[in-house]
Structure 1
Amino acid sequence: MFFVDTIEVSGLGNRVYLAGGEATAVVVDPPRDVDRLIAAAARRGVRIAHVVETHVHNDYVSGGAELARITGAAYLVPAAARIAHPHVPVHDGDRVEVDAAAGLTLRALATPGHTPHHTSYVLEEAGASVAVFTGGSLLIGSVGRPDLVEPRLTRGLARAQYASAHRLAAELPEETPVLPTHGFGSFCSSSRAEGGDTTTIGREKASNGVFTRDVEGFVADLLAGLDDIPAYYAHMGPVNAAGPAPVDLTPPAVADADGIAARLAAGEWVVDLRHRVAFAQGHVAGSLNFEAEGQLATYLAWLIPWGKPVTLLAGSAAQLAAAQRELVRVGIDRPAAAATGSPADWLRPGEAPASFPRATFAELADRRRGAPGFVVLDVRRDAERREGHIEGSFHIPLHTLPRRLDGLPEGEVWVHCAGGMRAAIAASLLDAAGREVVAVDDSFEAAERAGLVVRRS
Structure 2
Amino acid sequence: MFFIDTLEIAGLGNRGYLAGGERGAVAVDPPRDVEQVIRAAARRGVRISHVVETHLHNDYVTGGLELARVTGAAYLVPAAARVSYARVPVHDGDRWEIEPTAGLALRALATPGHTPHHTSYVLEENGTAVAVFTGGSLLIGTVGRPDLVEPRLTEDLARAQHASAHRLAAELPDDAAVLPTHGFGSFCSSSRARDGATTIGTEKAVNEALTRDVDTFVADLLAGLDDTPAYYAHMAPANAAGPAPVDLTPPPVADAEEIGARLAAGEWVVDLRNRVAFAESHLAGSLNFEAEGQLATYLAWLIPWGKPVTLLAESPEQLAAAQRELVRVGIDRPAAAATGAPAGWVRDGEALASFPRATFADLAAAPGDGVVVLDVRRDSERAAGFLRGSVHLPLHALRRRLDEVPAGQVWVHCAGGMRAAIAASLLDAAGREVVAVDDSFDAAETAGLTVRTS
Match of 1:141 in 2: 141
Match of 2:28 in 1: 28
TM-fit CA distance, 1:86: 1.3
Matches within 5 A, 1:201-350: 201-350=200-349
Gaps of 5+ in 1: none
Matches within 5 A, 1:44-443: 44-194=44-194, 196-367=195-366, 370-443=367-440
The amino acid that maps onto 2:246 is V
Match of 1:449 in 2: 446
CA–CA separation in structure 1 for the residues paired with 2:411 and 2:172:
52
CA displacement 1:102-136 (0-9 Å, x = unmatched):
11100000000000000000000110101000000
CA displacement 1:126-165 (0-9 Å, x = unmatched):
1010100000000000000000000000000000000000
CA–CA separation in structure 2 for the residues paired with 1:414 and 1:213:
42
- Contact between 1:391 and 1:455, CA under 8 Å: does it hold in 2? no
SS in 2 for 1:404: helix
CA–CA separation in structure 2 for the residues paired with 1:314 and 1:373:
35
Give yes or no for the alignment of 1:9 onto 2:18: no
SS in 1 for 2:123: strand
CA displacement 1:174-211 (0-9 Å, x = unmatched):
010000000000000011222x4110000000011111
Q: Percent of aligned pairs with the same residue?
A: 79
- Contact between 1:21 and 1:101, CA under 8 Å: does it hold in 2? no
The amino acid that maps onto 1:3 is F
CA–CA separation in structure 2 for the residues paired with 1:235 and 1:251:
24
SS in 1 for 2:435: strand
CA–CA separation in structure 2 for the residues paired with 1:200 and 1:328:
32
The alignment's TM-score, normalised by the length of structure 2, stands at: 0.99
CA–CA separation in structure 2 for the residues paired with 1:222 and 1:313:
40
SS in 2 for 1:312: strand
CA–CA separation in structure 1 for the residues paired with 2:451 and 2:265:
42
CA displacement 1:418-453 (0-9 Å, x = unmatched):
000000000000000000000000000100101113
The amino acid that maps onto 1:356 is F
CA displacement 1:41-80 (0-9 Å, x = unmatched):
0000001110000000000000000000000000000000
SS in 1 for 2:251: coil
CA–CA separation in structure 2 for the residues paired with 1:209 and 1:130:
23
CA–CA separation in structure 1 for the residues paired with 2:32 and 2:207:
31
The amino acid that maps onto 1:143 is V
The amino acid that maps onto 1:418 is A
Structure 1 residue runs of 4 or more that deviate by more than 6 Å after TM superposition: none
Q: CA RMSD in A?
A: 0.7
The amino acid that maps onto 1:398 is L
- Contact between 1:139 and 1:180, CA under 8 Å: does it hold in 2? yes
SS in 1 for 2:305: coil
The alignment's TM-score, normalised by the length of structure 1, stands at: 0.99
SS in 2 for 1:62: coil
